Amino acid sequence: MIKADAYGHGAIEVARTLADADAFAVATSLEAIPLREAGISQKIVVLGGVVNEAEMQSCFDYQLDPVLHQFWQIDLMNRMQSRHKIDLWLKFNSGMGRLGFSEPDLRQALSQLKQSTNIDTIRLMTHLANADDNSDPKSSEQISSVKGLGLQGYEWGIANSAGILGWPKSHVNWVRAGIALYGSDPFFDPDTTSKLRPAMNFKSQLLAINSIKKGHSIGYGGLHTCQRDQTIGVVAAGYADGYPRHLTGGYVMINGHKAAIVGRVSMDMITIDLSGLQAKPGDEVTLWGDAPLANEIASLSETSSYELFCHAGCHGRKEFINKN
């Protein structure tokens, strides 16, 4: 899964690194075309399908695999004129409730597609809605509904990251590694997290160090008032860089030590408590990575690591480091 610029990690670079992958998946054809133009030759699945004839044409032009989930898309596919065939996927709505055909509609869709001369291989897929909760029976119900269709003659894709890690019965012909691919635990389970290594380290630098007297407040709204004399560091990062503004608590790592975040996260700055720590302007600050984990920051911000990754480094720079 390399949609949303590979969850903020850089789609082209991730695709080149994963040279042995059988296929990649993106949300739209607009995401897929730059990958083709960069020389990515594997199958590229367009999860959102197409919204018009031009997008369907781009699937033929760039040999993309659209996911079809509406009958009008099938009509469009059947009307297309092309010298080249493409593969496609039909989506079954097994319980997510967003995109996909119901059971009777899926069978009708398959019947209609048999009339098309534009198709090479048809594959089927669905999406697990609650797989991140391994105590919720809905995933088992969805998997059973797929198998109850009796369409095992087709190649299927069911498992997302949580399915791969927690629901073995969802492992069929294809699996879709998403958030786990980037080292973030979809369950936020320490036992699982220990098996995953974060691919992203989000870092900045210490911009300034100030001595703030007891009773003085820090930042917008004066959310933090010093209960004692404190040494306050200012980190050159904020919500404009994708760090969550609504964080409650939390910490960063500096010189191997935790430094608590104090006050409100600003557009370009974060204030941290350096009391008792050795630090100087220019020192590297880790906002998330091996510690703190993105999931920790996400939990304290009432969001998910998916959102943090997608927004990280909005006006910073990415440095790609290959590690064995």
pLDDT digits (tens, 9 = 90+) for 199-247: 999 999 999 999 999 999 999 999 999 999 999 999 999 999 999 999 9
End-of-domain residue from the set 193, 227, 257:
193
227 burial level (CB within 10 Å; 0-12, 13-18, 19+)? exposed
Report yes or no on 222 lying in a domain: yes
Say whether 3 is catalytic. Answer: yes
Looking at this protein, which amino acid is placed at residue 285? Answer: V
- Residues 212 and 209: their CA atoms lie apart, in Å, by 10
Q: Establish whether 62 is a catalytic residue.
A: no
Does the pLDDT of residue 115 top 90, yes or no? no
Range of the domain at 284: 202-311
Q: What pLDDT is recorded for position 193?
A: 54
Rounded CA gap, 66 and 231, in Å? 55
- Indicate which residue of 3, 203, 239, 243 is catalytic: 3
What is the value of pTM for the model shown? 0.92
Helix (H, G, I), strand (E, B) or coil at 191: helix
Assess whether 15 and 142 both reside in one domain. yes
Residue 320 lies inside a defined structural domain of this protein: no
Q: 97 with 72, same domain?
A: yes
Catalytic residue among 214, 220, 280, 318: 220
Please indicate, yes or no, whether residues 162 and 100 belong to a single structural domain of this protein. Answer: yes
- For residues 47-70, give the mean pLDDT: 97
> Please, which residues bridge with residue 24 across strands?
44
State the pLDDT at residue 1: 98
Mean pLDDT of 270-294: 97
pLDDT confidence of residue 323: 56
CA distances from 226 to 178, 254, 318 (A): 42, 21, 35
Asked if residue 143 and residue 282 are part of one domain, the reply reads: no
- CA-nearest of 294, 218, 284 to 256 is 284
Rounded (to 5) percent helix, strand, coil in the chain: 30, 20, 50
Torsion of CA 279, 260, 182, 127, to 10 degrees: -170
- pLDDT (0 to 100) of residue 192: 56
Whose structure tokens read 């969802």? 170
Q: Cα separations (Å) of 228 from 70, 206, 216, 223, 260?
A: 63, 22, 9, 15, 15
Considering the domain architecture, whether residues 163 and 276 belong to the same structural domain is answered as no
Query: Across the chain, how many H-helices and E-strands are there?
Result: 11, 15
What pLDDT shows up at residue 195? Answer: 82
Q: Whose CA is closest to 156, among 48, 145, 42?
A: 145
* Residue 284 resides in a domain: yes
| Mean pLDDT of all residues belonging to the chain | 95
Considering its fold, how many domains does the chain have in total? 2
188 falls in which pLDDT band (50, 70, 90)?
Answer: low
Percent of the chain exceeding pLDDT 70 equals 97
Q: Give yes or no: residues 189 and 246 share one domain.
A: no
Q: How confident is the model at residue 315 (pLDDT cuts 50, 70, 90)?
A: confident
- The mean-pLDDT minimum among 29-43, 164-178, 305-319 falls in 305-319
